[in-house]
Structure 1
Amino acid sequence: MQVSVRDNNVDQALRALKKKMQREGIFRELKLRGAYEKPSEKRARQKAEAIRRARKLARKRMQREG
């Protein structure tokens, strides 16, 4: 991941980097890998994420269709 610094404005570049990392899901990944996750908790989390994605997709479809 790369961010260019323009006019020696490091703060702006840092904000852009954080935004990119947030979009890519790096912070979420770091949090998950920070501590051990039991297999049952992992399955439950993945199932909840799948349900959330499916609901979001259904909402978008309904909005497009009417």
Structure 2
Amino acid sequence: MQVIVRDNNVEQAIRVLKKKLQREGVFKQMKAHATYEKPSERRNRQKAQAIKRHRKYVRKQMKRDGLIPGAGR
């Protein structure tokens, strides 16, 4: 990852770097690896994430089919 510092404005470059790291999910990954997660907690988290992904997929499909109002094309 690369950030260009313009006019010796380091503060702005740091803000840009933090935003890029946030988008990449580095902070979330660091937080996840900071503490031990029990296998049962990991399974529960992964199952909840899978349910969330599935609901998002179904919601998008329903919008696409015109069953619920949304950002129309």
| TM-score between the two structures when normalised by the length of structure 2 | 0.76
Look up the match of 2:30: 30
Work out which structure has the larger RCO, using CA pairs closer than 8 Å and 6 or more positions apart in sequence: 1
What's the CA shift for 1:60?
Answer: 3.0
What's the CA shift for 1:34?
Answer: 0.3
| CA displacement 1:20-48 (0-9 Å, x = unmatched) | 11111111101110010001101111111
Look up the match of 1:63: 63
Structure 1 unmatched runs, 5+? none
Count of aligned residue pairs for this structure pair: 66
CA spacing shift, 1:58–1:12, aligned 2, 3 Å: farther
**CA–CA distance in structure 2, aligned partners of residues 39 and 48 of structure 1:** 14
Look up the match of 1:18: 18
Structure 2 unmatched runs, 5+? 67-73
**CA–CA distance in structure 2, aligned partners of residues 9 and 64 of structure 1:** 45
Percent identity, aligned pairs only? Answer: 65
**CA–CA distance in structure 1, aligned partners of residues 60 and 10 of structure 2:** 37
Larger Rg: 2
| TM-score between the two structures when normalised by the length of structure 1 | 0.82
